[in-house]
């Protein structure tokens, strides 16, 4: 029993005296891991580059105004997902928002705008849907994943519907 205890003690003592293991060496360059600043350190901050909002437009997608035959259940429901709606500047979308505005507000839906030609066109639509939040986004990938090709639609954690 004494031999086992001595062996464990020797192994632990050897481990404490071992050289540190270098996991990664960045060759004297910063690793990106924040470190506690030392006295005398100087920092350079990059100035933020202002984004030109107009460069985002036109925002086009393959989606078109139209009707869903019936609500489409999501193949994998997403519990707790924030509902969102997809619209554009057409009269059909505006009518749909007008009819559903109170419900969209009640459920806290986020608006996504597509097929927007210019910043001024987006601003006009955003003003129309207030107080609902609206952002312009490319919709093709989202629509493909969720299996819809028309707007306006409301996407919840369970279904895509109008």
- In the chain, where the domains are located: 56-161
Q: How many CB atoms lie within 10 A of CB 117?
A: 13
Q: Domain 56-161 has what CATH class?
A: alpha beta
118-156: pLDDT as tens digits: 999 999 999 999 999 999 999 999 999 999 999 999 999
Q: Provide the mean pLDDT of the chain.
A: 83
pLDDT at 79: 84
Q: Could you give the angle at which helices 119-129 and 91-107 cross, rounded to 10 degrees?
A: 50
Share of the chain above pLDDT 90, in %: 56
Residue 93, helix vs strand vs coil: helix
CA-based R_g, the chain, Å: 28
21-48: pLDDT as tens digits: 665 655 666 666 656 666 666 656 666 6
Q: CA–CA separation, 33 vs 96, rounded Å?
A: 49
Which of 55, 53, 60, 54 lies closest to 151, judged by CA?
60
Q: CA–CA separation, 63 vs 113, rounded Å?
A: 11
């Amino acid at each position: 029993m004494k031999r086992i205890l001595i062996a464990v003690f020797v192994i632990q003592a050897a481990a404490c005296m071992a050289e540190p293991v270098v996991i990664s060496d960045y060759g004297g360059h910063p690793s990106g891991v924040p470190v506690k600043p030392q006295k005398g350190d100087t920092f350079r901050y990059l100035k933020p580059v202002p984004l030109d909002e107009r460069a985002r437009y036109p925002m086009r997608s393959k989606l078109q105004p139209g009707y869903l035959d019936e609500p489409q259940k999501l193949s994998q429901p997403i519990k707790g997902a924030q509902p969102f709606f997809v619209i554009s500047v057409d009269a059909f979308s505006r009518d749909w928002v007008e009819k559903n505005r109170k419900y969209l507000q009640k459920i806290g839906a986020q608006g996504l705008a597509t097929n927007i030609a210019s910043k001024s066109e987006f601003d006009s639509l955003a003003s129309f849907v207030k107080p609902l939040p609206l952002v312009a986004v490319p919709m093709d990938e989202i629509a493909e994943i969720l299996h819809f090709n028309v707007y306006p639609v409301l996407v919840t954690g369970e279904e895509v519907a109008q």
